[in-house]
Amino acid sequence: MATPLKRCILSDKFEDEQDSQELIPTEQDTVTFQGKSLVVVRLSDGRNGVVLRWICENLHLLPAAQVRRIKRTEVIADDLVYVQVQTDGGPQIMPTLVLHAVPYWLATIDIRNMASDDERRRDILAYQRNAVDVLYAWASTPRVIAAPTDLVPSEPIAQPTRPAPDAPLADWHEYHVRMAAVLEWQMEISVWQGSVESRLESIEAIVPDILERLGPELITIEHQRSVQGLVKRLHNANGKPFGTIYDELKTAFDVPRYQELREQDWEKVLNWFRVQLDRAKRKG
């Protein structure tokens, strides 16, 4: 469950941070894993991310060293962004890893030289096995949006009964007060209807342009993970470097990043890997 951010952490001055674009998240939250905090954010483009500072601290890793390692790893280098994080000491710019790159990053943390009873080894294994599930559970939780407070009442206000001509002044006063409320409601409804019609017309005008700009649907997170697994399998089969395989895949489908492969081409992507694996087997 999310808990408030309780402490101030000064941002590290990482290499090339000055050249990175600062992103302001639409939402910042804190989730707990194994009793320790992880700061997570939602970005304006819909991506989710985890701030490296806290996850590195929990695993006894140097954040700056991990940032350099991520930058050297082509498959996830583009998923490192710099985000404005709110702390008790004010906003700090901190390196953040987009969520779909976290499994790969965690899986490539080398623990072979750590003793089996090393506490760090146990912590890293726990994160490699279970932390991603906690992060994705948070990312999939719908945001609660407060209801507007200035909505026009949906039910009409009943018009009061007109008093008799000889009714007391108090009855006439009450009648006019209630009539004023009825007239105000009718005017608000009229303004609201006009605003809605205007907005609908505007939306209808820009929808075709939006659909054109959005382009085709990109592969899902699950398929991105499948690509990573297939690349590793192909690397083991033909010995080519990971970067070379990713470059050949991107060239084959004319995309700048493997994450931008089109979902409609997924069967073609699988077939491409089948062909490459068959070639590797024949050569072997």
Q: DSSP 3-state assignment of 36?
A: strand
Average the pLDDT over 223-231 and give the result: 91
Average the pLDDT over 47-76 and give the result: 93
User: How many Å apart are CA 259 and CA 222, to the nearest integer?
Assistant: 11
- Whether 5 is in a domain gets the answer no
The pLDDT value recorded for residue 18 is 41
The pLDDT value recorded for residue 62 is 92
125 and 82 share one domain: yes
246 and 180 share one domain: no
Convert the pLDDT of each residue in 155-173 to its tens digit. 667 778 888 888 888 887 8
246 CB-near residues (< 8 Å, 6+ apart): 74, 75, 231, 258
Which residues span the domain enclosing 252? 221-283
30 and 123 share one domain: yes
**274 has a pLDDT exceeding 60:** yes
**52 has a pLDDT exceeding 50:** yes
- Whether 10 is in a domain gets the answer no
**68 has a pLDDT exceeding 90:** yes
Q: Are strands 48-51 and 36-42 parallel, antiparallel or unpaired?
A: antiparallel
User: How many Å apart are CA 144 and CA 104, to the nearest integer?
Assistant: 30
- Whether 193 is in a domain gets the answer yes
What phi and psi values does residue 280 have, to the nearest 5 degrees? -65, -40
Average pLDDT for the chain: 82
3-state secondary structure 49-110: EEEHHHHHHHCCCCHHHHHHHHHHCHHHHCCEEEEEEEECCEEEEEEEEEHHHHHHHHHCCC
- Whether 211 is in a domain gets the answer no
Closest listed residue to residue 175, CA positions, set 157, 186, 161: 161
Closest listed residue to residue 58, CA positions, set 88, 34, 85, 87: 34
Kindly report the number of other CB atoms within 10 A of residue 270's CB atom.
Answer: 14
User: Hey, what amino acid is at 232?
Assistant: K
Average the pLDDT over 130-137 and give the result: 88
Length of the chain: 284
22 and 60 share one domain: yes
139, 159, 193: which is the final residue of a domain? 139
User: How many Å apart are CA 249 and CA 121, to the nearest integer?
Assistant: 34
- Whether 12 is in a domain gets the answer no
User: How many Å apart are CA 40 and CA 139, to the nearest integer?
Assistant: 9
Convert the pLDDT of each residue in 5-19 to its tens digit. 433 333 444 444 444
Convert the pLDDT of each residue in 140-153 to its tens digit. 877 655 555 555 55
User: How many Å apart are CA 16 and CA 13, to the nearest integer?
Assistant: 9
Q: For the chain, what is the domain count?
A: 3
